[in-house]
């Protein structure tokens, strides 16, 4: 799972050695808040927009070390009722994360074979599936092993048994070094990220990330929060290039309490495979067998957030473009995302409302397709950035409402126009939802409630005005039930 098929190099072995040899301080059982933890992100953003947190919050996962430093520096007696709610929740979540060993069992039953148009809160991509994970830490390393069983796979060669979410990591001064297949979400959006999201399965590889990103740990000449994340992964599925790899880097800076800036870059690389003579198109010139087929994407994003009269408001934007002279790209092949969000306490609830719009318009080329990387910027058929993929536009209005007894109610309403330029490329290229333009309204609703201290139950429904086709299967309106047990 973690091996790159060249020179017998094992990413997992390297990560294990690094973790065991370089760890220098205590690592939490779960060292970071993972991409997908919507509740923790909400409460972190409440304190950040109130000016109480200085660490960047647009590169997930976010390390608990920086959060702890920030919470320790807060003057609790000066917090408002809303801020105190978020502070207490984060203290509770931190206490849970500091346990030496935890085991989690998740069971999910769905009426549809796969998820579509997912957001930050959804890391379940298939229909019915189960997960069991265990994590452990001591003073030298953190380890998590997660096993997933998919009951009905619809993507060819994707496998029923997976170890997505597994990792091993250690610390070197203020850096975390490790190996694994972890979800990433780079950008300020809640419904989408243009460059890296949890829409596709994570890429196994090695990674480097700052441990404490808060401003409180910096020198008096460098009083800003900043974060740097770097990874190198292997595209383990069968692709149109040999030894396909995905690498990426993101720098997030928070120069002021109300402003966060981020720059991200990813690169897909490998050597094109020349087609067999009987498969070659007489009218096309096949790439040479040693042709380098790099696919580079760069994104810039910003977010402004401020608390006024008991309401935290934020506005953000993300822009994506493809770089590289080989494709003769032009300024029309870009993608844009814009959002506005508000959080407030009312009716005994902690609330967040988000209005988000995204557009992945095309010029002469598709921004997420490539002439030699024929699978495009996708993994097992899913875009590694926005779920709506290329040549599409979508608008959504969503709300999340949290009760102090642990219940959560969330909803989303939206409109989308997919494959707007009607691109019809031969597989494995092309839009994941088909070669024709699809216009639809969609809606989701979910309710999460604790049954006991260790067991939570979640119900969800989704509505599509027009069925979507993914991997030759029809995705229609439906629902799911999800049980989460933590031991």
In a domain, 281, yes or no: no
Question: Which of 49-53, 192-196, 216-220, 360-364 is predicted with the least confidence, judged by mean pLDDT?
Answer: 216-220
pLDDT at 468: 95
29: pLDDT strictly greater than 70: no
pLDDT digits (tens, 9 = 90+) for 259-271: 999 999 999 988 7
Give the mean pLDDT of 333-362.
94
Q: Give the pLDDT of residue 429.
A: 85
**Mean pLDDT on 20-37:** 63
pLDDT of residue 328: 52
Which range has the top average pLDDT, 207-216, 273-282, 330-339, 463-472?
463-472
Query: Which percentage of the chain shows pLDDT scores above 70?
Result: 85
Portion of the chain with pLDDT greater than 90, in percent: 69
Domain annotation covers residue 3: no
pLDDT grade, residue 9 (50/70/90)?
A: very low
Q: With respect to residue 6, please indicate whether it lies within any of the assigned structural domains.
A: no
Whether 54 is in a domain gets the answer yes
According to the model, what pLDDT value does residue 242 have?
82
Tens digit of pLDDT for each residue in 407-440?
999 999 999 999 988 777 788 888 999 888 999 9
Q: Which domain holds residue 157?
A: 11-273+288-486
Let me know if residue 2 belongs to a domain. Answer: no
What average pLDDT does the segment 344-368 reach? 90
Is the model's pLDDT at 224 over the cut of 50? Answer: yes
Confidence of residue 7 (pLDDT cuts 50, 70, 90): very low
SS3 letters for the chain?
A: CCECCCCCCEHHHHHHHHHHHHCCCCCCCCCEECCCCHHHHHHHHHHHHCCCCCCCCCEECEEHHHHHHHHHHCCHHHCCHHHHHHHHHHHHHHHHHCCCEEEEEEEEEECCCECCCCCCCCCCCECCEEEEEEEEECCCCEEEEEEEEECCCCCCCCCCEECCCCEEEEEECCEEEEEECCCCEECCCCCCCCCECCCCCCCCEEEEEECCCCHHHCCCCCCCEEEEEEEEEECCCCCCEEEEEEEEEEEEEEEECCEEEEEEEEEEEEEECCCCHHHCCCCCCCCCCCCECCEEEEEEEEEEEEEECCEEEEEEEEEEEEECHHHCCCCCCEEEEEEEEEEEEECCEEEEEEEEEEECCCCCCCCCCCCCCCCCCEECCEECCCCCCCCCEEEEEEEEEEECCCCEEEEEEEEEEECCCCCCCCCCCCCCCCCCCEEEEEEEEEEEEECCCCEEEEEEEEEECCCEEECCEEECCEEEEEEEEEC
d(CA 429, CA 423): 10
The answer to whether residue 282 sits within a structural domain is no
Q: What's the pLDDT band for 374 if we cut at 50, 70, 90?
A: confident
For the residues 379-385, what does the mean pLDDT come to?
A: 95
187-201, 292-306, 338-352, 466-480: range with lowest mean pLDDT: 292-306
Specify the number of domains making up the chain.
1
Answer yes or no: is pLDDT of 115 > 50: yes
Label residue 307 by pLDDT band (50, 70, 90).
very high
Mean per-residue pLDDT over the chain, rounded: 87
| Predicted pLDDT of residue 424 | 74
pLDDT digits (tens, 9 = 90+) for 148-168: 999 989 998 888 999 999 999
**Domain holding 42: CATH number?**
2.40.160.130
Would 5 be classed as within a structural domain? no
Q: Evaluate whether residue 1 is within a structural domain.
A: no
């Amino acid at each position: 799972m973690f091996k790159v098929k060249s020179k017998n190099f094992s990413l997992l072995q390297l990560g294990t050695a690094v973790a065991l040899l370089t760890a220098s301080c205590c690592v939490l059982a779960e060292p970071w808040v993972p991409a997908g933890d919507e509740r923790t992100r909400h409460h972190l953003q409440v304190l950040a927009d109130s000016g109480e947190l200085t660490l960047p919050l647009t590169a997930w996962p976010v390390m608990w070390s920086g959060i702890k430093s920030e919470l320790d520096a807060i003057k609790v007696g000066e917090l408002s009722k809303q801020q105190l709610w978020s502070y207490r929740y984060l203290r509770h979540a931190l206490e849970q994360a500091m346990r030496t060993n935890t085991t989690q069992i998740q069971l999910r039953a769905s009426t549809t074979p796969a998820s579509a148009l997912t957001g930050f809160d959804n890391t379940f991509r298939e229909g019915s599936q189960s997960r069991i994970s265990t994590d452990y830490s001591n003073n030298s390393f953190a380890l998590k092993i997660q096993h997933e069983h998919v009951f009905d796979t619809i993507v060819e060669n994707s496998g029923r048994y997976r170890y997505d979410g597994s990792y091993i990591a250690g610390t070197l001064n203020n850096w975390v070094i490790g190996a694994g297949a972890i979800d990433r979400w780079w950008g300020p959006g809640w419904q989408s990220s243009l460059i890296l999201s949890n829409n596709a399965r994570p890429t196994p590889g090695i990674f480097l990330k700052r441990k404490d990103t808060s401003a409180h740990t910096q020198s008096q000449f460098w009083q800003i929060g900043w974060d740097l994340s770097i990874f190198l992964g292997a595209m383990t599925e069968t692709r149109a290039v040999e030894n396909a790899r995905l690498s990426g880097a993101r720098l997030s800076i928070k120069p002021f309490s109300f402003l966060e800036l981020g720059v991200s870059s990813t690169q897909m690389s490998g050597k094109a495979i020349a087609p067999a003579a009987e498969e070659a198109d007489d009218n096309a010139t096949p790439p040479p067998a040693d042709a380098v087929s790099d696919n580079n994407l760069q994104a810039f994003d910003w977010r402004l957030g401020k608390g006024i009269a008991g309401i935290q408001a934020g506005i953000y934007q993300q822009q994506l473009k493809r770089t590289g002279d080989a494709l003769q790209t032009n300024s029309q092949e870009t993608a844009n995302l814009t959002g506005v969000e508000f959080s407030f306490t009312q009716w005994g609830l902690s609330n967040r409302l988000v209005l988000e719009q995204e557009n992945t318009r095309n010029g002469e080329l598709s921004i997420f397709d490539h002439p030699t990387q024929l699978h495009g910027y996708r993994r097992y058929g899913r875009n590694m950035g926005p779920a709506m993929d290329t040549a599409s536009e979508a608008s959504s209005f969503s709300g999340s409402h949290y009760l102090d007894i642990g219940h959560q109610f969330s909803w989303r309403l939206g409109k989308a126009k997919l494959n707007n330029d009607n691109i019809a490329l031969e597989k494995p290229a092309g839009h994941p939802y088909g070669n024709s333009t699809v216009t639809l309204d969609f809606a989701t609703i979910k309710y999460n409630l604790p049954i006991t201290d260790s067991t939570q139950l979640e119900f969800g429904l989704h509505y599509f005005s027009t069925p979507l086709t993914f991997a030759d299967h029809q995705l229609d309106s439906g629902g799911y039930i999800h049980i989460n047990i933590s031991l």
